[in-house]
Structures are given as structure tokens and as C-alpha cells.
Structure 1
């Protein structure tokens, strides 16, 4: 094909035409056969895959801004037909995997996505493709984590992207052992820690407490321990005492009196001014 041929020229109508042709073919089979067989559906999805592959190739080579390309890619991935294609397992898996991988690579290489302005669009498309990156060239860990958090927002199924989310924070000792649910719930704090803005993270924790933020019961203890660890690392004695008191009070409320006593003894050894009121 020649670059200047009609088939290689981008037009917005091209994006709309691919799903229309797919639906028209389905409607034709329904009218003639009363149903679309599994074999016919596989064939139609294969045709549709080839169609959007050509459309994406032309789009990415078009003389458009990166932002315009991202929005038009989003149009493709938002269509019901592409959503169904992403879940389709009837054949051509390698072709689909390769196409999605190439598109994802292009998306993640764009500065507009890395800088944040196109991250929402990227997250939506990656969620559709089922791609959860843990390492991206040129990206900081904080950016990868934030992207995964946004993908998770769109794919709430149990376990989706959890391992990748934990992996993206694994380099920080402060975040070791925390599960994906905790990391996502406190994403602003986690992001600050990954940005090595530990004092900011500590103040974010204290602000949540001061504002009476509703925190899931299963996260409260780890939340206070994170505050303790940040205080200790920053050598902020007053903050450490504050979190130690909260931790001991929580243990007492949970009837874990032996642990509370041990924490009190440990706390007074290092900070003699600790007193539980």
C-alpha cells in the first residue's frame, strides 16, 4: 500500500465504521440464520481485530497531536465491540496480544501520559486491554503506582492488578508487607512516600486522623504503624509519641492488653515522656 492511498489516510469516520460493519454483519446473520454461531462469531471478531489494527496503524501515523491520538484511541477501546474483543478467546490470541502490546507501548512512551495529563486515558485503555505494567522505561515508581491505581479503579474484580500494585511499591521499606487494598486506599500517602516526600506523607496521615477520615477497620493498625515508622525515620519524637499513644489505645480497644503493655514498655524505654491518658 502507498502512504497516500485512501486506505492509509486517517478519517474520524473510520473509527466509527469498524464497529458498524461488525454489527451489520451480526445483524445479517441473525436475519438469515436466526442466530450467530460460535464459528461465525469467531470469524467476525477476527475480521474486526484486523480492521481496528489497520485503523490504529493509520491513526498513529496520522499528522495529529499526541492528545488527539489518545482520545481517538480511547474511542476505539470504549466501543462495545472492542470491549468484547478484549474478552474474546476464540482465536488469534497472539495477534491480539501483539496488537495490544504495541498500542500499550506507544501509549506509555508518550510524555503526555507520563506527565499526568493523559494518564486517565491511558489507564482506561490499559484496563480494557488487561495490561498492568510494573516497570515502564523512563517512569518513576510513583508514576507506575499511580497508573496501576487508576487501572484498578476501572477493574475492580478481585485480584486484578494486585500483584503489580504491590510490586510497584516493593522498593520502599516503609511500604513492605502492605497489601494492594491498603496501598490503593491510601494512594496519596503512598505516592508521597514513593516520591521520597516522607514529611508530606506523615502530615497526610495526621490530616486524615484530624479530619476523622473513615478508615476501614482492617487498615487502622497498619495505618498507625506507618505513621510510627515515618516518625521514627524522620526522628520526629513528638509525632512518634502521638502515634505510639494511638497504637496502644487501639490495642487496648481490641482487648490485646499484653501487646499494649509491651508497646508501652518499649515506648517508655525510648521515649520516657510517653504517658497514656
Structure 2
């Protein structure tokens, strides 16, 4: 039995010596080490060649160019020459294994007849050389049954994220080859580890930490790759498929766990993206791509709203607002689309074109809008409208939605709707505005038959009625009549309304006045039967009223 170590090193002259020392110090000596120089421009190749010259277990390889692998230098090619019973182990050129790594791992494998054994890792700060954290289990975990793969998933999943820190029986490694996997660079190790774990029947996690991982800002985890967005999705699907294959199902706990993993990956990807030198518009487009993805929406349902706000949405929002750019229409549209994706409830409050306009004109209120400080947003919009001395149709829908969100009383909402209609609302909103006016006035019997147009003509009157102040409403109506001309088609509705309003205000003089106008209208319209009985009733009450007597004579003459 042989353990096959594999390392690819690029410009690693400063870190490779500690990796070399960790392998040479192993208490078990039946190993070989395939060390690949990745086209280094420093002394990495020289270190490897010198080592190979004095220790035949070191097998040197070289790629002419970094990340362009020469035939035969991939681990998939190298393991072809080894037996199924041999073991494969990966080591990064800046990391190390503790001296008893092989001894304890091989013993663990033999005791439990494992295809794969994994150990814990110390995470070392490359600058301070101190331990920043340890990833390990609290007990040995043995995975051999669907139940075990199901129950312990959250505990062993982190060990499927990397190739290092494990011994793999070469028999399970042969089933995986990168040419058959999705073409990704970022996360390829994870994809490979998950694939190999799928091939294994018996897997164990030893509770000890036997590996040291040096955390470097040069790691691919901190570099942007245009395929990284796709990689996050591919890796999520790979983990999902792994559980389906091992357990035939995914329980709710594991589904929520995977949602959290995807959520964390999304945050990390967006943070890396924001730090890149890509143009602002490209960053926005990429974030939009991430958050508009249908699977993203589905997976985020398993993450608490408060956590989404604290770790994802508010940081993105603050980053957007901190750009202080004079945005083109195209950019503001993209930003508004991004915000709509992050905050689904926005679509019920504001249309995308209105949000784009606000981003361009008043970006300072966007955060208040998101935080649902609607009073502040409304005050700022009203101030803006007064300052600019005009009506802005793009604000109309938002103003209405804000009034409703703030539970403004009917008379205030009606005043706004009437103002928007009279100011000339966009044709696309006309029916919606009229429908909302009808919805409000239908609540009040006195004005429900008034109609939208007359309600807007007498908007102040209608508002007083909604407040229950009929006297003030009648005074306003009488005052309005002095400078208004009522069209013939609206005359009947107007007079009926005037009579009913006078009655509600308990103003008998106004009621009699408008009754006379109403009866004269009926006679002129040849509706004598309707007029006759009502005139008789009035004459009984006011037998000496000359106007009612004259109205009766007009009917007799007709």
C-alpha cells in the first residue's frame, strides 16, 4: 500500500519548504509525492528538483505555464499508475500536515474499512502565524448507511468543500474526471470532492485536526472569476444531487442547511465582486444576475429576513448609494431592477420606472423607502414637488401607495387622487386612479352616485363629507357654484347631490332652493309624474310659496 501525495506549486519558494518539511516528517514513510511546478518564475522548480535528487519518493513535474497543465501532470493522469488499494492525498504548496497525519489516518481507515478518511484543520493566519480557527468534529463520524449520510450531513458537509485534509482510496478516485464535470475554475476542488464522496460507500471523519491551512488573501476565494456565479449554482446542485443519491431524499433540515450554504456563498461572491476593478455597471449587472436567478429566490426563502437584511441587502444598498455617480438612464434602470429583486415588496409600492426616477433625482430617500420610513419619503417628495413647482407623474403611483401604507384617512387619499386626476395623470394610470376614486366614494351613500368627474370638481366638498362635516361641505358647495358652470350631462347628478347634501346639513333653506331647481328640471324634461307628487307635498307644507304654486301651474298648462 502506498500513499500518493499531489501538489501543484506556483512561485511558492517562501511557503513550499514548510510543506516539504511536513511530508518528510511523517511518521509513516511508505509514500510518494508528485510535486508539480506550475511554470514558476522564482526558485520553486529549483527547490523541487533539488529535493527529488536526494529523495526518490519525490517525483518532479513541470508545466510551462501557470494553470496550463501539461499532459500527464493532472492527478487524474498520475493515479493511473497506482493500485486501487493505494491512497491519494492532496496538499497545497503553502500548507502542511502534522507529523502523525498518515499514521493516525491510516489506522482510522483500517479500523473502519473506509474508502475516504477526513481530518480536521487548523486555520492559520499567514501574517501572524496564529490559529484563527479550527474545523473539526466533536467525535469520529462513520458514514456507511443512508440514515448516517442524512443525519450527519451538516457535520460532514464542510469536509466535502476541499480536496485536502483527506486520504482517498484510489479506487473511488478513478470514477471522477474533470473532463466529465461542468467547466468551472472557482470551486473545482469542491466539485471534485463532492463527486468522489458520491463514489465512496464508507466515509469517516476523525475528530482530530491533523492539517494546517494557511489563510491567504491570494487564494482564489478572494479573486473574481466571471464564471463564479455559475459555479455557486453548480456546487449547490452537486451537493443536492449528492444527498438524493445517498439518501434518496432531502429532509427539511438539510434543505434549509443547503439554503444557508448557498446564501453564504452568494454573500462571499458579491463581496468579492464589489471589490474588483470591474466597471460599476458590470458589477450591478452581475449582482442582478445573482439575485434574479429563480433558484436564488427559492433558496433564500429558508433564510430569515433579518439575516438577509443584515448580511446581504443592506450592505449592497449602502454600496450602491455610496457610489455618488451621475447615473445614466440605463444604469438607474439596472439599479432599480436590482432593488426590486432584493426587496420583492417594492413592486407593490412603486413601479420600476418611478424607482429609476427617484434613484436619479432623489437617491437619498431610497434607503428610507427600503426601511419603510414612508412618512419621511412622503415629506421629501412633497418638498421636492413644491421646490420644482410642478407635478411629477412618475411620483403619482408611489404617493398613492405611500398614503395607503400609512393608512391615511379617506379624505386625504381622495384629495391626492383628485389632485393627480385634475393635474393630468399618465394615461396608463387613468383607469386605475378613477377606480380608486370610485372605491372610496362608494363607502359614502351621500356621494356614491356623484360620479368621478363631479367628485373631482367638488373635491373639497367631498373631503368634508368624508370627514362628516356636512355644514362645511354645503358652504363649500355653494361657494363653488358661484364660479362653476355645470354641464347639461352633469346637471341632474349635481342637483340631486345638492338636495341630499342640504338635507344632511339640515339646512332647510338650501334644501327648498335646490328642490325648486330640481322640480323645474323634471318639468322641463317632461317627467311630470315625478314632479307632481313632490310639488303637492311641498304646497301642503308651504301653501303660500309662490314658486311651488308656479311650478304646479306649469304642469297643468303642459
TM-score category, normalised to shorter length:
0.5 to 0.7
Give the counterpart of 2:444 among 172, 189, 207. Answer: 172
Alignment of 1:29-178 (within 5 A): 49-53=333-337, 76=357, 106=372, 109-110=374-375, 113=378, 117=382, 124-127=393-396, 135-153=404-422, 154-155=424-425, 157=427, 159-178=431-450
> Do residues 18 (structure 1) and 328 (structure 2) align?
yes
Contact 1:123 1:151 in 2 (8 A): no
The CA distance in 1 between the partners of 2:319 and 2:407, in whole Å, is: 36
Deviation, 1:134, is 8.7
| TM-score with structure 1 setting the length | 0.59
Give the count of matched residue pairs: 210
Is 2:477 aligned against 1:205? Answer: yes
Structure 1 residue 245: Cα displacement: 1.0
Shift of 1:224: 1.5
Could you tell me which residue of structure 2 aligns to residue 231 of structure 1?
502
The CA distance in 1 between the partners of 2:458 and 2:338, in whole Å, is 41
Structure 1 contact 18–52 (Cα < 8 Å) conserved: no
Residue pair 2:400, 2:413 contacting (<8 A) in 1 also? no
Identify, as 1 or 2, the structure richer in strand: 2
Cα deviation, residue 141, structure 1 = 0.4
Structure 1 pair 165–5 and aligned structure 2 pair: CA distance change class (3 A): closer
Aligned twin of 1:87: none
Greater helix proportion: 1
Deviations 1:82-126 (A, max 9, x none): xxxxxxxxxxxxxxxxxx9x959958x316748994596897334
8 A Cα contact 1:114 1:139, kept in partner: no
Give the aligned partner of residue 153 of structure 2.
none
Kindly state the Cα deviation for residue 6 of structure 1 after the two structures are TM-superposed. Answer: 5.9
What is the SS of the residue equivalent to 1:159?
Answer: helix
Distance, in Å, in 1 between the alignment partners of 2:527 and 2:399 is 43
Query: In 2, are the aligned partners of 1:133 and 1:164 still within 8 Å (CA)?
Result: no
In the other structure, the counterpart of 1:182 is 454
Paired residue secondary structure (1:246): helix
Moved more, 249-258 or 116-125: 116-125
Q: Does 1:219 align with 2:484?
A: no
**Contact 1:244–1:267 (8 Å) recurs in 2:** no
How big is the shift at 1:252? 2.6
Give 1:30's aligned residue: none
Provide the secondary structure at the position in 2 that maps to 1:161. helix
* CA distance in 2 between partners of 1:195 and 1:114 (Å): 23
Please tell me the root mean square deviation across aligned C-alpha atoms, in Å: 4.3
C-alpha change, 1:78 and 1:240, in structure 2 (3 Å) is farther
Higher-Rg member (1/2) = 2
Give, in angstroms, the shift of residue 216 of structure 1: 2.0
| Cα distance between partner residues in 2 of 1:247 and 1:146 | 29
Q: Quick check: 1:9 aligned with 2:319?
A: no
- Of stretches 249-258 and 166-175 in structure 1, the one that deviates more from structure 2 is 249-258
**In 2 relative to 1, CA 78–205 (structure 1 residues): closer, same or farther, beyond 3 Å?**
farther
Seen in structure 2, the aligned counterparts of structure 1 residues 160 and 171 have a Cα distance that, compared at 3 Å, is closer
SS in 1 for 2:418: helix
The 3 A distance-change label for structure 1 pair 190 and 4 is closer
Q: Is 1:253 aligned to residue 524 of structure 2?
A: yes
Q: Which runs of 5+ in 1 are unaligned?
A: 23-46, 58-72, 80-99
Change (3 A) 1:197 1:112: farther
Write the distance in 1 (CA, Å) between the matches of 2:319 and 2:380. 35
- When the two structures are superposed, what TM-score results if normalisation uses the length of structure 2? 0.32
Higher relative contact order (CA 8 A, sep 6+): 1
Assess if the C-alpha contact under 8 Å between 1:132 and 1:161 holds in 2: no
Contact 1:145 1:168 in 2 (8 A): yes
Q: State the Cα distance separating 1:264 from its structure 2 match.
A: 1.6
Report the more deviating stretch, 255-264 or 117-126. Answer: 117-126
Which deviations, in whole Å up to 9, do the C-alpha atoms of 1:212-243 show, x marking residues without a partner? 52112222222122221122122221111111
CA distance in 1 between counterparts of 2:488 and 2:408 reads 34
Mapped to 1, the partners of 2:501 and 2:404 lie a distance apart of: 26
- Report the alpha carbon displacement of residue 207 of structure 1 after superposing the two structures with TM: 2.0
Q: Deviations over 1:155-190 (max 9, x none)?
A: 264634222101112222211222212211221211
